[in-house]
């Protein structure tokens, strides 16, 4: 790893072009509004989840305290990389019953330091996490570099700057752990991460459908299913025959904002991991920003909104985003599975080669043809308390055992659509 200057005072942290070595320098920004748009976007390009204006929306997230940090990396005074951080406070209650039982196990082992900490801080921050990446979306959205910067150099730059910024962030409160998320391929060189004290672990996978060749419609797609799954798909799709389903434009999203957010909250409250909550005007703000790329589809029963599904069109891939529905209506109308089929149909409509259904509910997503794509994260504890928490924290984030299903009659060829 590069040798680096010592941490500086809080005011000097934001000085421009802080030197890393003879080739690279960087500038740190405390909020998206301060980031020079031309420098940031020259590297971010068309990446939706690294777009400066999208990250402004994220800054207004609720439920827990989130502080965002932005780094532009320069070579010869030209931007060549960007890094995005979130500093998030975890309170014990956020982890829910799963982590509570794991913490209790630690207490039963009579780890005296940890017991004293829990007794005196039960309602306080359990863990302050310095994350390279975005806790609201899954995927590789922690940093991006120009194509001329080799992957090994990217890793070294990110680790060097992350190390420094985590130390300097202590000026504003203790950092308990550093998390770098989410990667489909392990970072290299692995030795650099290991030497830096990082532990590698898997989180819940992204569930992705590769659209089979020559499939043009949802009926074409389900025709590839075995009889059992084809009949199930017909039954699921028939269960919404009495509902009105339509795309919502910006004015309709604004008109239904409270209902959309209430449905989203129903999903949020049942989530295993309730950390960052969307701002209340999230869906209209994102629609206003990405008019053509972001869609919201509403499901109405007797004129009342009972479900919605949002998605992004990212080149030749459709990515499912946030959803919401009334749980009491789900059994009658199979709302969740219909949303999954709606995503597939949306992908086909836009000639996509892939549909990313996101994390969670992995087994049910395999029943509509999705396959797991593992995601790697890297974590390093910063103090005694976080070292005690790290094992249950990793265990909490890792996926529970599940059984993959295969709805297809036989393996199908994957489309090579571009």
Q: Which residues are registered as beta bridge partners of 28?
A: 71
Q: Are strands 143-145 and 78-91 parallel, antiparallel or unpaired?
A: antiparallel
pLDDT-derived band at 416 (thresholds 50, 70, 90) equals very low
In this prediction, residue 128 carries a pLDDT of: 81
Beta-carbon contacts of 42 under 8 Å, excluding residues fewer than 6 positions away, are 79
User: Are 158 and 152 in contact, with CB atoms under 8 Å apart?
Assistant: no
Domain 12-204+374-397, second-level architecture: 3-Layer(aba) Sandwich (3.40)
DSSP state letters, 125-168:
EEEEEEEES-TTS-SS-SEEE-TTS-HHHHHHHHHHHHHHHHHH
pLDDT-derived band at 170 (thresholds 50, 70, 90) equals confident
Q: Cβ–Cβ contacts within 10 Å for residue 97, how many?
A: 8
What distances in angstroms separate CA 89 from CA 27, 176, 194, 344, one per listed residue? 24, 10, 26, 36
Give whichever of 258-272, 284-298, 373-387 has the largest mean pLDDT. 284-298
Q: Are strands 294-301 and 304-314 parallel, antiparallel or unpaired?
A: antiparallel
How many residues belong to the chain? Answer: 418
What distance in Å separates the CA atoms of residue 19 and residue 163, rounded to the nearest whole number? 15
What distance in Å separates the CA atoms of residue 156 and residue 2, rounded to the nearest whole number? 7
Same fold, 12-204+374-397 and 212-352: yes
Give the pLDDT confidence of 205-253 residue by residue, as tens digits: 999 999 988 999 999 999 999 999 999 999 999 999 999 999 999 999 9
DSSP state letters, 327-389:
HHHHHHH-HHHHHHHHHHHHHHHTT-SEEE--SS-HHHHHTTT-EEEEEEEEEEE-SHHHHHH
Q: Is-cis flag, bond preceding 184, omega within 30?
A: no
In this prediction, residue 97 carries a pLDDT of: 44
User: Are 88 and 154 in contact, with CB atoms under 8 Å apart?
Assistant: no
Which of 111-115, 186-190, 359-363, 378-382 comes out lowest in average pLDDT?
A: 111-115
In this prediction, residue 26 carries a pLDDT of: 98
Give the pLDDT confidence of 60-85 residue by residue, as tens digits: 987 677 899 999 999 999 999 999 99
274-297 b/e (C-beta count within 10 Å ≥ 16 → b): ebbbbbbbbbbbbbeebeebbbbb
Q: Nearest CA to 81 among 122, 37, 25?
A: 25
> Residue ranges of the domains in the chain?
12-204+374-397, 212-352
pLDDT-derived band at 100 (thresholds 50, 70, 90) equals low
In eight-state DSSP terms, residue 92 is G
In this prediction, residue 174 carries a pLDDT of: 74
pLDDT at 6 over 60: no
| Sign of CA pseudo-dihedral 287, 293, 294, 300 | positive
In this prediction, residue 95 carries a pLDDT of: 47
pLDDT at 166 over 80: yes
User: Are 247 and 297 in contact, with CB atoms under 8 Å apart?
Assistant: yes
Give the pLDDT confidence of 84-96 residue by residue, as tens digits: 999 988 765 554 4
| Sign of CA pseudo-dihedral 276, 280, 283, 288 | negative
Q: Which residues are registered as beta bridge partners of 244?
A: 300
Tell me what percent of the residues of the chain surpass a pLDDT of 90.
69
Does 212-352 carry CATH code 3.40.630.30? yes
Give the pLDDT confidence of 322-362 residue by residue, as tens digits: 999 999 999 999 999 999 999 999 999 999 999 999 998 99
Q: Is the pTM of this model over 0.85?
A: yes
**Mean pLDDT within 309-322:** 97
In this prediction, residue 269 carries a pLDDT of: 86
Provide long-range contacts, Cβ within 8 A and 24+ apart, for 309-314.
Answer: 309/339, 309/342, 309/343, 310/283, 310/286, 311/343, 311/346, 312/48, 313/350, 313/352, 314/48
């Amino acid at each position: 790893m590069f040798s680096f200057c010592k941490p500086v005072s809080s005011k000097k942290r934001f000085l421009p072009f802080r030197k890393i070595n003879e080739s690279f320098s960087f500038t740190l920004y405390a909020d998206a509004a301060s980031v020079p748009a031309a420098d940031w976007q020259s590297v971010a390009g068309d990446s939706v989840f690294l777009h400066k204006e999208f990250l402004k929306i994220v800054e207004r997230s609720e439920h827990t305290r989130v502080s965002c940090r932005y780094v532009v990396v320069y070579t010869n005074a030209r931007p060549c990389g960007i890094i995005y951080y979130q500093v998030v406070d975890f309170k014990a209650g956020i982890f829910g019953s799963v982590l509570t039982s794991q913490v209790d196990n630690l207490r039963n082992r009579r780890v005296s330091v940890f017991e004293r900490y829990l007794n005196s801080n039960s309602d306080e921050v359990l863990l302050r996490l310095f994350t390279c990446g975005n806790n609201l979306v899954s995927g590789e959205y922690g940093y991006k570099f120009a194509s001329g910067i080799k992957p090994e150099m990217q890793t070294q730059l990110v680790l060097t700057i992350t190390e420094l910024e985590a130390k300097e962030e202590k000026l504003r409160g203790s950092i308990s752990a550093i998390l770098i998320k989410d990667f489909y391929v392990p970072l290299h060189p692995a030795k650099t991460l290991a030497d830096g004290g990082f532990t590698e672990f898997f989180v819940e996978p992204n569930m992705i459908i590769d659209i089979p060749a020559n499939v043009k419609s949802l009926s074409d797609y389900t025709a590839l299913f075995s009889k059992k799954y084809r009949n199930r798909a017909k039954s699921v799709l028939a269960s919404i025959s009495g509902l009105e389903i339509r795309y919502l434009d910006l004015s309709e999203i604004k008109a239904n904002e409270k209902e959309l957010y209430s449905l989203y909250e129903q999903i949020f409250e049942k989530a295993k991991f309730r950390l960052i909550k969307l701002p209340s005007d999230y869906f209209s703000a994102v629609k206003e920003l990405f008019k053509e790329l972001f869609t919201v589809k509403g499901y109405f029963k007797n004129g009342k909104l009972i479900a919605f599904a949002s998605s992004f069109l990212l080149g030749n891939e459709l990515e499912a985003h946030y959803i919401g529905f009334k749980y009491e209506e789900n059994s009658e109308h199979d709302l969740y599975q219909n949303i999954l089929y709606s995503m597939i149909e949306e992908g086909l409509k836009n000639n996509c080669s892939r549909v990313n259904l996101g994390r969670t509910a992995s087994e049910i997503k395999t029943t509509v043809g999705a396959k797991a794509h593992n995601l790697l994260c890297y974590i390093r504890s910063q103090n005694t308390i976080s070292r005690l928490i790290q094992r249950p924290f990793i265990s909490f984030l890792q996926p529970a055992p599940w059984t993959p299903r295969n709805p297809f009659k036989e393996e199908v060829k994957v489309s090579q659509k571009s």
